[in-house]
Structure 1
Amino acid sequence: MRSVADPILETPRLLLRPTRAEDFEPWAVMMADEEVTRHIGGAQSRPIAWRGFVAVAGAWMIQGFSMFSVIEKSTGLWVGRVGPWVPEGWPGNEVGWAILRSHWGRGYAVEAATAAIDWAFDTLGWKDVLHTINPQNLASKAVARRLGGHMSGLAPLPEPMAQPMAEFWRQTRDEWRSHPRS
Structure 2
Amino acid sequence: MHNNDDPVTLNGLNVYGGELTVYEKNLSDGSNPNAPALTQNGTFTVTALDGVTTLTVGGIAVVTGGVAAGFPQSITTPLGSTLTITGFNAATGVVSYSYTLNDNEAHPTANGANTLPEQFTVTAVDDNGTTATGSLDVNIVDDLPKGVNDSNGTASETLLTLNGNVLSNDVQGADRVTIGEGTGPITPGTFTGTYGTLVLN
TM (norm. structure 2) is 0.22
- The answer to which structure has the higher helix fraction is 1
Q: Which has the higher contact order (CA 8 A, sep 6+)?
A: 2
The structure with more radius of gyration: 2
